[in-house]
Amino acid sequence: MSKTRLILQQYKKDVMNLVECAKEINSRNDQEKIFAECFYSLNKNEQFSPSRNSLTTSLLRRILNLYVLLFILAISIYILLNVHQPTSSLVLRNVQGFIYPGLKFLRILSVPIIKKLPLLTGLYDESCLIENPYFYVHEMECWPCYNVYSFIEITGTQNQSTYSSGIPHITKTSHKPVHFDDLKDIYDQNKYYFHKESGSIRSSSNSVTNLEELFSQNVEALSSSDIHVSWRINRMLPARIMRSVFPKPESLSERSGQSVERFIFIDGAKAHPYMLPGMECSYISVRQAIGQRTIVLKPSAECSKKCRTVSLVLNSSVILWYNWWYWRPVSLPIVNATDLAISYISSYC
């Protein structure tokens, strides 16, 4: 016989003995009264001690009701401010005096967080923290990509206003090609500034996670690999340093303003295709500093039914110009390529 069964039998025997003793000491009415009082006490405790599940459900219901109330209140205020002009004017007139003190107070509150997480200071230079993937322009005019079958070279053309509107074209530059060793020399001379203000890169290789590891690589090994490195520069000092190797294109007028944000892409001969990023300004240039890449311009979602896909092989010292509103570019490797490719992307307003 198992130990559990023996314990149960002993427990049953003890209970029967207890019942017999109760019968001898008290009458049956007294037993019923005692049991009734016990059951009443148990029912009372259950009634006034709700379970944890009921408490959680009640709390969730109250939070949900609060969210619904706040949502309705926010929608009502938004509609009131946009529909009722006197209310909107009254609110704006009285709120403007609190904007600067409120932002100052918010900054004071954020100081302890910045001290604990200093990497957050990099967000100050971001023009957009979260890009809207559902952004779409209804009824956008797509005439700059109508009837585009190839890329026109306009180097030296006097009147370039037509092409500045968004028609894709190419120009040749007299600036010398930029090799990997040139970038390495610039990095060695300004290592402190790059690590401080533009030291982050993205790479398809686990062995290259920062600039120091990138420029310690062998050029021949990089050239024959499938590595893709994206070096983003979005601060003024590193951008000014890079002007010595990537000066402003000759075809741009002096009035053209260049954004601070720019990208340097370093691709091995077998690097996989990737999309070129959206930039701060819509007028974008892609300069092939060295090597070759195939650039495919796909029409944007707004113009996909009216325009067609075009492509070209971008050679060294050639600049591709396009407008981000109408095109979504993809960079692909050249078949049977053996050289390293370096691309420089910037935008103009």
* Mean pLDDT score, 292-297: 92
* 63 Cβ contact partners less than 8 Å away, ≥ 6 residues apart: none
The tokens describing 67, both together, are 């969210």
User: Does pLDDT of 48 surpass 50?
Assistant: no
pLDDT at 235: 85
* Mean pLDDT score, 283-289: 90
User: Does pLDDT of 276 surpass 70?
Assistant: yes
pLDDT at 231: 92
Angle at which helices 85-116 and 52-83 pack, to 10 degrees? Answer: 130
**152-153 vs 169-172, strand pairing mode:** parallel
In the chain, the percentage of residues whose pLDDT exceeds 90 is 15
pLDDT at 106: 83
User: Does pLDDT of 282 surpass 50?
Assistant: yes
pLDDT at 63: 87
Question: In angstroms, rounded to a whole number, what is the distance separating the alpha carbons of residues 81 and 69?
Answer: 18
* HEC per residue, the chain: CCHHHHHHHHHHHHHHHHHHHHHHHCCHHHHHHHHHHHHHHHHHHHHHCCCHHHHHHHHHHHHHHHHHHHHHHHHHHHHHHHHCHHHHHHHHHHHHHHHHHHHHHHHHHHHHHHHHCHHHHHHHHCCCCCCCCCCCCCCCCCHHHCCCCCCEECCCCCCCHHHHCCCCEEEECCCCCCCHHHHHHHHHHCHHHHHHHCCCEEECCCCCCCHHHHCCCCHHHHHCCCCEEEEEECCHHHHHHHCCCCCCCCCCCCCCCEEEEEEEEEECCCCCCEECCCCCCCEEEEEEEECCEEEEEEECHHHCCCCCCEEEEECCCEEEEEECCCEEEEEECCCCCCCCEEEEEEEEC
Burial (CB count within 10 angstroms: exposed 0-12, middle 13-18, buried 19+), residue 266: buried
User: Does pLDDT of 17 surpass 90?
Assistant: no
pLDDT tens by residue, 246-257: 888 877 776 777
User: Does pLDDT of 80 surpass 50?
Assistant: yes
The tokens describing 123, both together, are 């967000």
pLDDT at 207: 86
* Mean pLDDT score, 310-333: 90
Question: In angstroms, rounded to a whole number, what is the distance separating the alpha carbons of residues 327 and 22?
Answer: 93
* Mean pLDDT score, 54-74: 83
Worst-scoring range by mean pLDDT, 50-54, 67-71, 126-130, 325-329?
50-54
pLDDT at 287: 92
* Mean pLDDT score, 138-162: 75
Place of tokens 């993205």: 202
**pTM of the predicted model, to two decimals?**
0.67
pLDDT at 97: 78
pLDDT tens by residue, 125-137: 667 777 777 777 8
User: Does pLDDT of 43 surpass 60?
Assistant: no
Phi/psi class of residue 295: alpha, beta or left (left: φ > 0; alpha: ψ in -120 to 50)? beta
* Mean pLDDT score, 49-63: 70
Domain ranges, ordered by start, for the chain: 52-125, 143-348
> Tell me: domain 143-348, CATH 3.40.50.920, correct?
no
Residue 69, amino acid: L
pLDDT at 229: 93
pLDDT tens by residue, 112-122: 887 787 767 76
pLDDT tens by residue, 156-182: 665 555 556 678 888 888 888 899 999
pLDDT at 267: 92
Residue 80, amino acid: L
165 or 239, which is more confident: 239
pLDDT at 258: 77
User: Does pLDDT of 13 surpass 80?
Assistant: no
pLDDT at 195: 82
* Mean pLDDT score, 139-159: 78
273-304 as b/e, with b when 16 or more CB fall inside 10 Å? eeebbebbbebbbbbbbbbbbbbbbbbbebbe
pLDDT tens by residue, 177-231: 899 999 999 999 988 888 877 777 888 888 888 898 899 888 888 888 889 999 9
pLDDT at 343: 93
